[in-house]
Amino acid sequence: MREEIDVTGEVCPRPALMVRDSLEELGPGDELVVTGDYPPAEENIQRTCEKHGYGVSKPDSDEGESFTLRITIPDEALGPTTGE
């Protein structure tokens, strides 16, 4: 399954929380494509997803300040946790 979420215009820390909620709806092997318009949100999303075992890639070169992240859920998904 492939889902998309747009966090354009959202103020931190909301983008990372929105992505977290979306990921909870998905299962192993699924993919979430996140688009947004603010570089720090991209950094935060990438950091939290990588720490929690998700795969993160950038499908194409970003233009301006907008970004796209492709987040994949591994077969052995760790799922979002709150411990650091």
Q: Which of 44, 68, 70, 77 binds another protein (CB under 8 A)?
A: 44
59 touching another protein, by CB under 8 A? no
Can you spell out the DSSP letters for 37-77? S-HHHHHHHHHHHHHTT-EEE--S---TT-EEEEEE--TT-
Catalytic, out of 12, 17, 56, 77: 12
> CA nearest 20: which of 8, 7, 9?
7
The answer to whether residue 12 is catalytic is yes
Where along the sequence are the contacts to another protein (CB under 8 A)?
Answer: 11-14, 16-17, 20-21, 38, 40, 43-49, 51, 81-84
Q: Which residues are catalytic?
A: 12
